Structure 1
Amino acid sequence: MLEQPLPCGHVRRADRRADQTARPADAHAAVDAHLDRPLPGGRPGARLAAAFGIRIAKDALLDLLRSVPQPPVGTVRFLGVDDFALRKGDSYATVLVDLEARRPVDVLPGRDAEPLAAWLRRHPEVEVICRDRAGAYAEGARIGAPQAIQVADAWHLWRNVAEAVERTIGSHHGCIRAAFAETPVLAEATAKDPVAPKPPEAVTAPFVPPDGTLDVMGRPRRLVARTAERFAAVQALLAEGKSLAAIGRTLRLDHSTVRRFARAGSLDELLVKATGRLSVLDEHKPYLHTRWAEGCHDIPQLHRELRERGFTGSIQCLRRYFRAFRPPRQPGRKRQPVSQPQSRPVPRPRRIVRWIMTNPAHLAAADAAELKEIRAVCPHLDATARHVRDFAEMLRNLRGDQLPDWMNRVLDDDLPALHSLVSGLRRDLEAVTAGLSTPWSSGQVEGHVTRVKLLKRMGYGRANLDLLRQRVLLAP
């Protein structure tokens, strides 16, 4: 804020060690602190100051911004804590948000327990600390503010459940593929005509749409073969008692890759991630199967129809997909009539996860029907969906008192991924119970983290933590 004007005839003199008086310094800092894009290097702020008739270098402007006093923290009763990346995978920082005032109150270096604990010791008035599931923040809150209630954020809890559901589906995706491939051949014709003639040999076996493990020539994909080879090698070395670090050195693999292969319950769980990638043809496959069953086997015609429906792929994409629909040609014999694809496309694992995690009232009728069929053929996924529904009810109605009974019901079923989730919840039981019982969450903290990332990217390489901290705390 600018100073009050001096009486007529009086001139304010600068300090003998200062380059300018206090009034221009305050004006310069206000220009840079309240400019939407003061970085990189303070150039926009310097240009705006020049438009006001103030000459100042860009680096001097940034130095003034660093010297601006920070606003007082005040009394913070409800605190939100979250981290953000200064350099992803290398260095991080922590932002603290007053959930009542809805403003950031401090930015701490790193994301360790001790800086948070030291800040909390200076603010014993904190009553509630809302955080994610990070163990460092839990430890820092326990040491620095033992009187405060720790609240695990509801969104992070729901995300933990989704990750456990995805691992469960990966372990049981084989039975889903088998169920969708068990469509009887010519069932409708047999029902209409009990004495229908036997179809040719080419149509005696049902068509199974590619599940992603084979290429268009019927050979295992290189990614699938490599995944299977690495899984077998990692499991063999684990059986010999070697550590993850030793396995990584032996197989020349990254530590995170070795850990993922070691923690996988089965090869199917890894193949789900390797083969679950979407293609531009996926959303059009039901229409293609319908047209193929109606007798339209003209690939150019099908491609023209798909183009009218918004398909952007080439005709070769269709030729490769329908190559598996045609039986192999035997030498010396004419090509037999083409068999019609009898099986429906198998839903992708992430789509099944979305169906299970979505409120049943908001599911489309077709999706709800397929989910019901999946639950009917796989008891494990039926139990998983039931547990997810119960957890959603606890989360929606703030019934954290039901959590112990829910965890016991989960442990009664053979669901290793959900058992691992329960073990993690028990290690942080008080915070999880509070997260399921109170309305506090880290929603607005995530919004401030998004804003901090914007300020960081606007600074390019010039926004060190001290300058970024000033921008976060001073910007309106």
Structure 2
Amino acid sequence: MERRRIIDLLPGRSSAPVRDWLAAHPSVTVISRDRSGPYAEAARTGAPAATQVADRWYLLVNASEALRSIVEQHQSEIRDVAHRGVHDPSASPDLRESAPTPEVTSRRRNRCESALGLHGEGLPTKEIACRIGASRNAVRRWVRAGRFMPYRGASGSSRLDRHLPFVEARWQEGQRSATVLHRELRAQGFIGSYDIVRRWVARGRQGAPARPPFARIPSTRRITRWLTGDPTALSREDRAFTEALCIAAPKLKQAAEEIRAFANLLRQNDPPGLTPWLEAAAGSDLCGFVAGLRQDEAAVRAAIVEPWRNGPVEGQVNRLKLIKCSMYGRAKFDLLRQRVLHVA
């Protein structure tokens, strides 16, 4: 970290090579690392006297993921807030979207129930996804929520909704060509695809309403970003949605406030504030996240006061991946190590 260069490349992702390397290099006094358990264990056993420093970026990512898991548990409140936005004339048109068919919903529900049953048997996420034919991210969402979550719907048509006054006026004038409407919309600043306009025209020809009366539910990732970000940087519609959700789900609001307070601890270099924050957050839905921090408290506290960060390491990881791609997997570890350590 001091010289900003790689000193060695170790095989595998287990703790044993790291532990043995640290034991052979007793001059190491500070270890900057992510939150990975094997690396923490390797540092404890291979260099017990060294100071471990958890990377701030990973701490913030862990905090965001902890809040996201809580957002997953408040799907009913999220849907209620979005549904109210559909019938509110002042609500953002971005909250309007179509719903899936009952057959699709039933099929997803069955897969969710199968995933939860397999998870209860102790199967890993990857195997569950292979068995039921779902993505691993979907399985993780279902496991976090502990129940079926209705489909949120795609968000593509929201781009057209901003231009609906113009396109509806052209429709009333008799323009029925999706190609022409798309070309005119592009001249008006529309950045969506032709397919969005084509679907809108198809609904119009079938006599279906141009604005479907279903709420588009924002993703849990997006809601988490709204809750942890600067409220003044949000649009009027997003800020209104977030405020309504906090009123409907007080526990979610409390968790979001605790996460923002934790981020401020890191940004303001406030190590004395960590202990009261842990005590306060332990009584909220963030108890699991707090338990993980307490197990790694020394490294977390060092992250607040120490200057070391994993940024240079992440840059070298990208370089390592580029080298591996250029080798097409045809060379063994010894050549890879030489190419990483010695820049040609």
What range is the shorter-chain TM-score in? Answer: 0.7 to 0.9
CA separation in 1, counterparts of 2:315 and 2:225?
Answer: 24
- CA pair 144-352 structure 1, distance change in 2 beyond 3 A: same
Cα drift, residue 105 of structure 1: 0.2
Confirm or deny: 8 A CA contact 2:112 2:148 kept in the other structure.
Answer: no
* % identity of equivalent residues: 34
Q: Does 1:227 align with 2:108?
A: yes
Higher relative contact order (CA 8 A, sep 6+): 2
1:272-291 residue CA offsets vs partner (Å, 9 max, x unmatched): xx646543x23333443x66
Confirm or deny: 8 A CA contact 2:246 2:253 kept in the other structure.
Answer: yes
Q: Secondary structure at the match of 2:194?
A: coil
1:126-157 residue CA offsets vs partner (Å, 9 max, x unmatched): 11101111111111111111111111111111
**Structure 1 or 2: larger helix share?**
2
Q: Of residues 323, 328, 339 in structure 2, which corresponds to 1:455?
A: 323
CA separation in 1, counterparts of 2:217 and 2:115?
Answer: 29
Aligned match of 1:425: 293
Q: Of residues 359, 383, 387 in structure 1, which corresponds to 2:230?
A: 359
CA separation in 2, counterparts of 1:370 and 1:293?
Answer: 27
Q: Does 1:106 align with 2:8?
A: yes
Aligned match of 1:316: 198
Confirm or deny: 8 A CA contact 2:30 2:51 kept in the other structure.
Answer: yes
Confirm or deny: 8 A CA contact 2:73 2:145 kept in the other structure.
Answer: yes
Cα drift, residue 375 of structure 1: 2.2
Aligned match of 1:244: 123
Q: For residue 427 of structure 1, what is the amino acid of its counterpart?
A: Q
- CA pair 220-312 structure 1, distance change in 2 beyond 3 A: same
Confirm or deny: 8 A CA contact 1:293 1:341 kept in the other structure.
Answer: no
Segments of 5+ residues of structure 1 without an aligned counterpart are 1-98, 189-207, 327-337
1:324-376 residue CA offsets vs partner (Å, 9 max, x unmatched): 994xxxxxxxxxxx697678754333322222232345444553343233323
Aligned match of 1:132: 34
**TM-score, scaled relative to structure 2:** 0.79
Q: Does 1:143 align with 2:45?
A: yes
Moved more, 441-450 or 365-374: 365-374
Count of aligned residue pairs for this structure pair: 329
Aligned match of 1:348: 219
Cα drift, residue 117 of structure 1: 1.4
Q: For residue 263 of structure 1, what is the amino acid of its counterpart?
A: V
Confirm or deny: 8 A CA contact 2:269 2:304 kept in the other structure.
Answer: yes
Confirm or deny: 8 A CA contact 1:286 1:345 kept in the other structure.
Answer: no
Confirm or deny: 8 A CA contact 2:32 2:54 kept in the other structure.
Answer: yes
Aligned match of 1:378: 249
CA separation in 2, counterparts of 1:323 and 1:410?
Answer: 55
Aligned match of 1:33: none
Aligned match of 2:17: 115
CA separation in 1, counterparts of 2:88 and 2:132?
Answer: 49
Query: Larger Rg: 1 or 2?
Result: 1
Cα drift, residue 408 of structure 1: 2.8
Q: How does 1:9-20 map to 2 (within 5 A)?
A: none
1:96-142 residue CA offsets vs partner (Å, 9 max, x unmatched): xxx00000000111122221111112221211101111111111111
CA separation in 1, counterparts of 2:214 and 2:238?
Answer: 17
Cα drift, residue 303 of structure 1: 4.7
Cα drift, residue 422 of structure 1: 2.0
1:48-67 residue CA offsets vs partner (Å, 9 max, x unmatched): xxxxxxxxxxxxxxxxxxxx
Aligned match of 1:266: 146
Q: For residue 123 of structure 2, what is the amino acid of its counterpart?
A: L
Cα drift, residue 323 of structure 1: 8.8
- CA pair 446-186 structure 1, distance change in 2 beyond 3 A: closer
Q: Of residues 50, 62, 66 in structure 2, which corresponds to 1:164?
A: 66
